[in-house]
Structure 1
Amino acid sequence: MTRRTRTVVVAAAAAVVLAGGGAAALGLDDRSGSAPAPDRPPATTQVRRETLARSVEIDGELGYGDPVPFTSKATGTLTWLPPAGRVVKRGGTMLRADNRPVVLLYGILPLYRSLSAGSEGPDVAQFERNLRSLGYDEFTADDEYTGRTAEAVRRWQKKLGLPETGVVDSTWATVANGPVRIAELRSRPGAAASGDVLTYTGAATVVTADVDADAAGWAASGVKVRVTLPDGKKVSGRVTYVGTRAEPKDDGGDPTVPVTISLDGSPGRLREGPVEVTYRGEERKNVLTVPVAALLALAEGGYGLEVVDADGTRYLPVEVGMFADGRVEVRASGLREGLTVGIPA
């Protein structure tokens, strides 16, 4: 799907362009705001009190994220593979080689060495936490692989139908950072058990988006967003990953960075499809606002409004604040909610 980024923000500079292109510069000798206007404006609006917020909207894709290959180090022949779409949890089987399971464990450290009695280190602590979570607790879960750990492993291996060695290695165990969902099978039973036999993703649905690199300043890990799902349902989410490398679009457009967003709630029945992500940034609460088009550029600098009342019209100098969504915060003595102001042609 072609993704696009729409920034719903009117920068302060936009007011200058708008005023310069659509309104004449006015000279005000009476800065108190009593100078009369010669004619009534062609259109009017009212000053509103509201909350202004800068927001960014991007198109994204609901799914499971980009699949990654699972490289099996098992020996022998593949005798079973899980079907695509299956979720494998801790202690579950990723494949079977010579009819023996390769088991999934949770963590961030891969099984880069064999673990046996006498082994020490953070990978030992990670493994022992997994073993305790699987119901084996006859040992202390720390960074030392003791004889009691080895005995618990032998009991686990017996249950799995593996040789009862008390040794853990990557031929029959593997590590991922949580439950995984099988994405694609790249091999079949009867083939060699080693190599890239399948791909997988995380088990939870996420939103992925390619954000224009020059408009991705809002995206940071932990930033909260609102996601509109394919069925129109809205759920909250938060950014979990922002790429550090900008890539050109396939059509040669401006470069983008990948962003991944996790959902705080279930997406419901639909688990894949296009979504819209909205980031709500800076807010100004309970402020007076007018459409940006109501601003007039003053010859002596700054901006003003053409106030319309029963006595006619007058020009009122104002201070401007935040611009957002086609409106602008305005401040001035005598300015109030409901006041009628002109919109120049």
Structure 2
Amino acid sequence: MSAMPLKHRRVLIASAVVVGVAAAAVGATVWARDVDADDGTARPQQNVKTVAVTRQDLSTSRTLRGSLGFGTPRPVKSGREGVVTWLPQPGTSVARGEVLYRLNDEAVPLFTGSPPLYRPLAARGTVGRDVAMVAENLKALGYPIGTQPKAGERVTQEAPPPNPGASGAPATPPGATSVTVKAGEGAYTAALINAVKKWQRDRGLPDDGRLDVGDLAVLPGPVRVDSVSALVGDAATGTLMSVTSTTKVVTVQAPPAEVDALREGDATSVRLPDGATAAGKVSAIATVAQQNEAGGTGPQTVAVTVALDDPGAAGHLDGADVTVEVAGETRKGVLAVPVNALLALSEGGYAVQLEDGRLIGVRTGLFSRGLVEIEGTGVVAGLKVVTTS
């Protein structure tokens, strides 16, 4: 691309401001320069600053500080009223089917998935995602659940049996209804009810095939107890404990400008305290920026979770400060100038301005840490171009 003649008396020029390493300009400082109508050159204003075009390697890779641990804790509350009679110790891992806590001296086991129980399950033919959650857990625990109906099939939902714990005479139950199973839903079939009864017998519970709200603690997966909030003897009305995943991850509190360039699945290299490195990938990026300091006085950051390809690479460490290298694009031996040397022309495209006021059209490439890759006719290493201060 050669030096471009400009035919307008005045040319509107914008100096792009690039945030982080994003390759798109997100703001601009705009000013005008006089242009000679005869030769199309701009007469530079006074107090201009120049910089030399350099040949160097550019990379969008970045280094972030992170913390090795088990991820962000989440609170656990009881799904029913009662008195807390047992809680696990911090650091305890709880797998599917194991007891997470006890209320009124009755064990509340952990089931994984979603949603939690939000209604009693008792009537044969009851359909819903909560039924599918129960079926998946019992199957994983080794209980035969029979064949579940497929999406689109219709099942007959019978009237629910009376709740033996309810006071007073039960209301007249409604008649049976026909229900269509939707994707992701399960049906409370006779085989599944039998599986529930067998599971109840194995746990020393009344084998009535009924599951009430609060009988199960339902969480996304196995958990590790991070901290315990309640005391034995407390009413189960608030947070009982906080739990995390059982898998070690790295949590990075990154500035929002850095997060703009990150994507889930980006490859990373985590440097551990002993100097060893462990490969990983960005597994989650929060969508809300938060203040990390008390009182909201510190800079906002966004939580980024990095999953290690081999969690065992962290060894015995349950927590540590680490360095995370996020892989990016690399261009070797390219011509580069500060981003503020770019001029966005009103007729489109970019240019750089020489000391004598001439404009040379350029094509842009990789943006990285305030620099931009450029190429164009006459653009060589050592060429002095105008930039803003």
Note whether the superposition's TM-score is higher than 0.5: yes
Q: Distance in 2 between matches of 1:24 and 1:59?
A: 33
Which region of structure 1 is more displaced relative to structure 2, 186-195 or 322-331?
A: 322-331
**What RMSD, in angstroms, separates the aligned Cα atoms of the two structures?**
3.6
Q: Distance in 1 between matches of 2:359 and 2:82?
A: 81
- Which position in structure 2 is the counterpart of 1:70? 76
Q: Deviations over 1:208-255 (max 9, x none)?
A: 222212332123333332222232222222223222223345373443
Q: Distance in 2 between matches of 1:123 and 1:268?
A: 37
Pick the aligned partner of 2:195 from 152, 162, 167: 152
Q: Distance in 2 between matches of 1:325 and 1:246?
A: 22
SS of the equivalent of 1:236 reads: strand
Pick the aligned partner of 1:110 from 110, 116, 130: 116
1:122 and 2:129 aligned: yes
- Give the conservation status (yes or no) of the 8 Å contact 2:148–2:189: no
TM-score normalized by the length of structure 2:
0.63
Q: Distance in 2 between matches of 1:213 and 1:146?
A: 50
- Which position in structure 2 is the counterpart of 1:310? none
- Which position in structure 2 is the counterpart of 1:252? 297
- Which position in structure 2 is the counterpart of 1:3? none
- Residues 54-203 of structure 1 correspond to what in structure 2 (within 5 A)? 54-116=60-122, 117-142=124-149, 143-203=186-246
The letter of the residue matching 2:127 is E
Q: Deviations over 1:250-285 (max 9, x none)?
A: 37344322222222212222221212222222333x
- Which position in structure 1 is the counterpart of 2:326? 279
The verdict on how the C-alpha distance between 1:288 and 1:103 changes in structure 2, with shifts beyond 3 A counting, is: same
Pick the aligned partner of 1:270 from 302, 312, 317: 317
Q: Give 1:120 shift.
A: 0.6
SS of the equivalent of 2:197 reads: helix
TM-score normalized by the length of structure 1:
0.70
- Residues 9-48 of structure 1 correspond to what in structure 2 (within 5 A)? 21=49, 23=51
Q: Deviations over 1:79-122 (max 9, x none)?
A: 32111111111101101223321011110211111122221112
Q: Give 1:167 shift.
A: 1.2
The letter of the residue matching 2:97 is G
SS of the equivalent of 1:275 reads: strand
The letter of the residue matching 1:159 is D
Q: Distance in 2 between matches of 1:152 and 1:24?
A: 76
Pick the aligned partner of 1:233 from 265, 276, 279: 276
Q: Deviations over 1:10-63 (max 9, x none)?
A: 9999xxxxxx746589xxxxxxxxxxxxxxxxxxx9x78x7x421222212111
1:205 and 2:212 aligned: no
The letter of the residue matching 2:117 is L
Pick the aligned partner of 1:214 from 254, 257, 265: 257
- Give the conservation status (yes or no) of the 8 Å contact 2:64–2:323: yes
The verdict on how the C-alpha distance between 1:177 and 1:215 changes in structure 2, with shifts beyond 3 A counting, is: same
- Which position in structure 2 is the counterpart of 1:224? 267
Q: Give 1:201 shift.
A: 1.1
The letter of the residue matching 2:147 is T
Q: Distance in 2 between matches of 1:342 and 1:167?
A: 80
Q: Distance in 2 between matches of 1:331 and 1:213?
A: 30
SS of the equivalent of 2:187 reads: coil
Among all aligned residue pairs of Structure 1 and Structure 2, give the percentage whose two residues are the same amino acid: 35
Q: Distance in 2 between matches of 1:126 and 1:193?
A: 24
- Give the conservation status (yes or no) of the 8 Å contact 2:73–2:244: yes
- Give the conservation status (yes or no) of the 8 Å contact 1:9–1:56: no
Q: Distance in 2 between matches of 1:71 and 1:137?
A: 30
Q: Distance in 2 between matches of 1:320 and 1:138?
A: 62
The letter of the residue matching 1:145 is Y
The letter of the residue matching 2:316 is R
> Unaligned regions of 5+ residues in structure 2, if any?
1-18, 29-47, 150-185, 342-351, 385-389
Q: Distance in 2 between matches of 1:264 and 1:24?
A: 43
- Which position in structure 1 is the counterpart of 2:306? 261
Q: Distance in 1 between matches of 2:20 and 2:282?
A: 17
